[in-house]
Structure 1
């Protein structure tokens, strides 16, 4: 049995922490509340990059880069929309806060 929080609770905690710190965190697409995957879009200047929570063989969660590495917002936008069409359980969260990966790691891992 896993000790992982239901996805909707992890997402809610991440949104609160980022917004309370003065950053911006928004749900671009809501997914399955209990076990949906989480794709995080991180705003960096005029571009975006993506990371995703993945479960390893040792049953521990980790953050891995996701999507194209171009950094262009339009390319990443198309990527996550295609992913969402194939996986309607996917949560897509956008963060605009300094040290975004730290917030993600401390909150959902």
Structure 2
């Protein structure tokens, strides 16, 4: 298992990747700088969105899961309700929102899309 970057640096890199590619990236909630978990919302600017959360794969590596597999989304209001509940549960949670018409998440980790 490879060591993880402090969350603050990881989030800043994610937002930067999105902005360089022409999308908008925002930190909606600032979590714990060192070890806070991240919830990523990707808004497609057409009323739909996706939300991604970190999890572990069978090899113990950090990956992200598209919560569509749990019935959250693609309606943006549904995603926003989930994000609001997550914010209330965990004050150390980072909430990052990317606005991208193509729905790109800009994660470099593997992503389970539930396909």
| TM-score bucket (shorter structure) | 0.7 to 0.9
Structure 2, gaps ≥5 residues long: 110-115
Aligned length: 105
Q: Deviations over 1:73-98 (max 9, x none)?
A: 22211211111111111111111233
> What corresponds to 1:80 in structure 2?
83
For the 8 Å contact 2:49–2:76, the answer to whether it is kept is yes
Give the Cα–Cα distance (whole angstroms) in 2 for the partners of residues 12 and 36 of structure 1. 13
Specify whether residues 70 and 16 from structure 1 end up closer, same or farther in structure 2 by C-alpha distance, changes over 3 A only. Answer: closer
CA positional deviation for 1:99: 5.6
SS at match of 2:107: helix
Q: Structure 1-normalised TM-score?
A: 0.82
* 1:40 matches 2:40: yes
For the 8 Å contact 2:30–2:94, the answer to whether it is kept is yes
CA positional deviation for 1:25: 0.5
Alignment of 1:56-71 (within 5 A): 56=57, 58-66=59-67, 68-71=71-74
> What corresponds to 1:31 in structure 2?
31
Structure 1, gaps ≥5 residues long: none
CA positional deviation for 1:40: 0.7
Q: Structure 2-normalised TM-score?
A: 0.79
Query: Structure 1 segments of 4 or more deviating over 4 A?
Result: none
CA positional deviation for 1:2: 5.0
Specify whether residues 99 and 73 from structure 1 end up closer, same or farther in structure 2 by C-alpha distance, changes over 3 A only. Answer: closer
